[in-house]
Amino acid sequence: MTEPFGERLARVFSRRGRLCVGIDPHASLLEEWGLPDSAAGAREFGLRVVDAAAGGAGIVKPQIAFFERHGSAGYAALEQVLEAARAAELLVIADAKRGDLGTSVDAYGEAWLTPGSPLEADAMTAVAYQGLGSLDGVLERAERFGKGVFVLAATSNPEGLPTQAAIRADGRTVAAGVVADVAERNRASGSGASGSRSSGGGATASFGVVVGATVVLAELGLDRASFAGMPVLAPGFGYQGARGAELRELLSAAAQNVVVSASRSILADGPRGLGAAIDEHAREVAACLV
C-alpha cells in the first residue's frame, strides 16, 4: 500500500523539522554565487542547496521558473537536482503552480507526480482558478501515488488581494472557499485519516494550501480553525519580512502543520554560509513550536 503524503510529511516534521529551503537560482543570486547565468549554473546552484539542506532541513522547494527560463537544458538541470534531492532523502515540493482543465492538467500531474518520471516530486503547487474540480485528475493521481498537492489560496502580493478577498456565491471569500474546498476534498478522500500524526499530535492530510506568511488572514475572510489538520505551505519567511517566531500568530494550533518556506534569506548568505543559514532558520522555527 502506498504511504500517503501526509504521513511522510508528518514524519519529516518530527525528525527534521518544518523548514523548507527554496531552490531559486535567479540571475542575481547566480551572480552573487559566482556562477554563470545558464542551465549549468542553475544545476550547480541547485546541487549545492540540496547538499546543504540534507544536513539541516528535511524539505526543499525548487522554483521551476528559474530552471524553465533556460529551456530544455534548464529542465535537464532540474532533473539532476531532483534526482540528487531524492537520493538525499529530502521531501521535494515542485513549485510549478500549474492549473488547467481536462487532459491538460492531467498531463501536469503526470509530469510532476508520477513515480519514475524525470520530474518526479513528492508534491507540487497548483492553481484552481477554474475551481478545485478542475484539479480532479491531479488530486486523484496524487492520492494514488502517495503525493501531495498545495493549492494557492492566499498569496502575499498586493495585486492578489482584490481577487482573493472577493465574495463567492456561497458567501465565502475566494481564498476561504479554496481552503474549504481543499478541506472537504481531504475529508472525502480520507486523506490524513489513517493515523498520520504531526509532532503536535494532530493528523496531517495530504492536500494542502499555499498561504503567504505575511498575509492578514482577516482581510481574506480566513479563519485559523479552517486549517486544522491541513498542511499549509507558507512562503515569505525571512526576506519578505515574516519571522519563524510568528508561526503561532499566523495559524495558531494549525502552525504544527505549516511548511515554513524560506529562500532568499538563506540563499543570500552564499554557498559558504548556506549551511549556517539553514541551521539558524531551522532552530528559529523549532523554538517557536516548543
Distance (Å, rounded) from C-alpha 44 to C-alpha 158? 33
Among candidate residues 26, 69, 97, 248, the one labeled active-site is: 97
Residues 241 and 266: beta-carbon distance below 8 Å: no
**97 in catalytic set:** yes
DSSP conformation class of 197: B
Residue 289 DSSP class = T
Contact 211, 152 (CB under 8 A): no
Neighbours of 243 (CB within 10 A): 15
Residue 70 has phi, psi (to 5 degrees) of: -95, 15
Cell of 139: 488530486
As to burial, measured by CB atoms within 10 angstroms (0-12 exposed, 13-18 middle, 19+ buried), residue 139 is buried
Which cell numbers hold the place of 200?
503536535
3-state secondary structure of 58: coil
Residues acting as catalytic residues: 97
